[in-house]
């Protein structure tokens, strides 16, 4: 009868053989896509060519070592080293990278990055167990394998950390622009723990803030000025559809619900949500962003089929020709929409829409006819998107390396644009950048830079969304919603329709 330690080693070895062979073969069968995914990694993009081959070779080689009794110990040490490297890689991606690439394929492609990290930690423990059992069976004791594993742990983790420090995409570079920081433009007022981190701002009405959550698509939260426990409002669409991405927008005493992937738009007065939402548009256009110009006119971000370009469209209810598309307003490139990627917003006070580009320092100001009224610039110097795109054999387009992201997201209110920047300026503290999100503020009439402000992280969570009203600056950070009171320099602009220079306080 075989000894139990021998059976344990066999089971652990065969587990890694199955894991590595399956992972390696999956990568080989879709090698083009795997190589693109490696190129997208903030840590590995510069080494994508070598790493894509090396990872597959290592997985298959280790499998061979594990299948042979005489080389099994070396195979377990190699498994331990490789899984340590993978684990440290995922930890760095989750905690120190603003750009999270796609998964590596195979069985783990269905996992999220956090689940992937937990799985890898389990594999590290499993490999270490196999080493200990086999070394003990060889009468090596405990001290020698522990020292060996400590050495290979340092080798695997040290290699990934070295890549982290050498990556041009993760090291903050000082850019040739200078920010000015007014004295306390916002002051923290209240906060509330929402318990989950998947909420977004749907809008405001009569002093209350409305929050949507894609994980609860038929429910919204209402927070009043006291900022105590929010009211939960159940929302029922009047028609039964297979919704894919149902979202909400509160504007001018109306609640709009929309799903551009279906596509459909609903509407109802905010004070009559006990009744089903009325369907006001269906099957007119597919879209992925939506703003309300008026109760009967909407602006959408769409993909024009013939040109394959990301563009903007207006949808007008009650007209014979409801949809008007401008496919060249955002970009002239048919690159899968990457160059045109950005955020569409609407300022109800001004009556203009704005489009902030993620990968270049440009903001478009548009009227309701999709005409560009003016082109504004953010204060950084990146005027051309630094994006490399590859056409895959199956027709898909993918970025081959992480793009340089200039702007993260944006909000607009009564003539002020708020942009969460992704680039550090001249003489700015990297320590402050680690602890805060920098929000740049721009005036629209006349167009110009007003100033910048720090929004402090909550624990390790950066600001993920922002929303502005006449008195308050709201932030979602992790599970928490935070309300800041706007200083007079901002409220003067909202109330009187004029902006004051930061130094004039």
- What residues have CB less than 8 Å from 307, skipping those under 6 apart? 327, 328, 334
| pLDDT tens-digit series, residues 439-489 | 999 998 888 888 899 999 998 899 999 999 999 999 999 999 999 999 988
In this structure, the answer to whether residues 462 and 340 fall within a common structural domain is yes
In this structure, the answer to whether residues 244 and 162 fall within a common structural domain is no
- Asked if the model's pLDDT at residue 398 lies above 80, the reply is no
Considering the entire predicted model, what is its pTM? Answer: 0.70
| pLDDT tens-digit series, residues 297-350 | 999 999 877 777 889 999 999 866 688 888 888 876 655 567 888 999 999 989
- Asked if the model's pLDDT at residue 171 lies above 60, the reply is no
Residue 492 included in any domain: yes
By C-alpha distance, which of 86, 104, 101, 114 is closest to 169? 101
Residue 175 included in any domain: no
In this structure, the answer to whether residues 373 and 436 fall within a common structural domain is yes
Percentage of the chain lying above the pLDDT 70 cut: 84
In this structure, the answer to whether residues 387 and 495 fall within a common structural domain is yes
In this structure, the answer to whether residues 252 and 374 fall within a common structural domain is yes
d(CA 147, CA 142): 9
If you average pLDDT over residues 44-66, what whole number do you get?
83
Q: What single-letter DSSP state applies at residue 286?
A: -
Instruction: Give the pLDDT of residue 109.
Output: 61
Residue 177 included in any domain: no
Reduced to 3 DSSP states, what percent helix, strand and coil does the chain have, rounded to the nearest 5? 30, 30, 35
Residue 172 included in any domain: no
d(CA 342, CA 312): 12
d(CA 202, CA 219): 12
Q: Which domain holds residue 134?
A: 4-166
Residue 255 included in any domain: yes
Of 163-172, 380-389, 438-447, where does mean pLDDT reach its minimum? Answer: 163-172
When divided into structural domains, the chain yields a total of: 2
In this structure, the answer to whether residues 249 and 284 fall within a common structural domain is yes
d(CA 147, CA 136): 14
In this structure, the answer to whether residues 220 and 109 fall within a common structural domain is no
- Residue 436 phi/psi, 5-degree rounding, is -140, 165
In this structure, the answer to whether residues 214 and 305 fall within a common structural domain is yes
Half-sphere exposure in the Cβ direction for 208 (13 Å, CA): 19
Complete DSSP assignment for 68-125: SGGGHHHHHHHHHHHHHHHHHHHHHHHHH-S------SGGGGGS-HHHHHHHHHHHHH
- Residue 400 phi/psi, 5-degree rounding, is -90, -10
Residue 180 included in any domain: no
Nearest 5°: the CA angle 226, 230, 235 is: 140
């Amino acid at each position: 009868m075989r000894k139990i330690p021998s059976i344990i080693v066999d089971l652990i070895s065969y587990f890694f053989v199955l894991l590595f062979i399956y992972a390696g073969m999956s990568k080989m069968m879709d090698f083009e896509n795997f190589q693109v995914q490696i190129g997208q990694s903030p840590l590995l993009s510069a080494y994508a060519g070598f790493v894509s081959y090396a990872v597959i070779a290592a997985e298959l080689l280790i499998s061979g070592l594990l299948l042979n009794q005489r080389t099994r110990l070396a195979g377990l040490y190699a498994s331990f080293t490789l899984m340590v490297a993978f684990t440290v890689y995922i930890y760095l991606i989750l905690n120190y990278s603003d750009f999270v690439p796609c998964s590596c394929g195979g069985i783990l492609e269905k996992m999220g990055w956090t689940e992937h990290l937990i799985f890898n930690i389990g594999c590290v423990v499993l490999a270490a167990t196999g080493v200990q059992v086999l070394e003990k069976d060889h009468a090596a004791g405990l001290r020698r394998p522990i020292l060996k594993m400590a050495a290979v742990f340092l080798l695997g983790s040290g290699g990934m950390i070295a890549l982290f420090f050498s990556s041009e995409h993760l090291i903050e570079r000082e850019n040739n622009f200078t920010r000015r920081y007014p004295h306390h433009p916002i002051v923290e007022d209240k906060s509330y723990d929402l318990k989950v981190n998947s909420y977004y701002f749907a809008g405001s009405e009569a002093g209350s803030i409305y929050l949507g959550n894609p994980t609860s698509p038929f429910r919204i939260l209402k927070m009043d000025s006291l900022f105590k426990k929010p009211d939960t409002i159940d929302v029922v669409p009047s028609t039964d559809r297979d919704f894919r991405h149902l979202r909400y927008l509160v504007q001018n005493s109306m609640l709009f619900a929309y799903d551009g992937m279906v596509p459909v738009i609903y509407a109802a007065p905010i004070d009559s949500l006990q009744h089903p939402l009325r369907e006001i548009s269906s099957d007119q256009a597919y879209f992925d962003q939506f703003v309300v110009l008026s109760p009967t006119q909407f602006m959408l971000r769409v993909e024009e089929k013939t040109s394959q370009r990301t563009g903007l469209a207006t949808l007008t209810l009650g007209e014979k020709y409801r949809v008007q598309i401008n496919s060249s307003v955002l970009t002239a490139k048919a690159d899968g929409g990457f160059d045109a990627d950005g955020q569409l917003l609407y300022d109800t006070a001004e009556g203009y829409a704005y489009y902030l580009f993620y990968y270049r320092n440009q903001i478009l100001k548009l009227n309701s006819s999709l005409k560009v009224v003016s082109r504004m610039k953010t204060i950084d110097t990146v005027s051309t998107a630094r994006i490399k795109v590859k056409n895959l054999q199956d027709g898909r387009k993918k970025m081959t390396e992480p793009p340089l992201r200039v702007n993260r997201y944006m909000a607009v209110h009564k003539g002020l644009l708020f942009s969460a920047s992704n680039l550090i300026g001249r003489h700015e503290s990297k320590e402050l950048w680690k602890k805060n999100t920098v929000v740049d503020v721009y005036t629209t009439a006349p167009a110009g830079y007003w100033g910048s402000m720090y929004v402090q992280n909550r624990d390790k969570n950066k600001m993920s969304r922002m929303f502005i009203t006449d008195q308050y600056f709201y932030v979602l950070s992790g599970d928490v919603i935070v309300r800041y009171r706007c200083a007079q320099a901002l409220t003067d602009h909202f109330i009187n329709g004029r902006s004051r220079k930061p130094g004039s306080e």
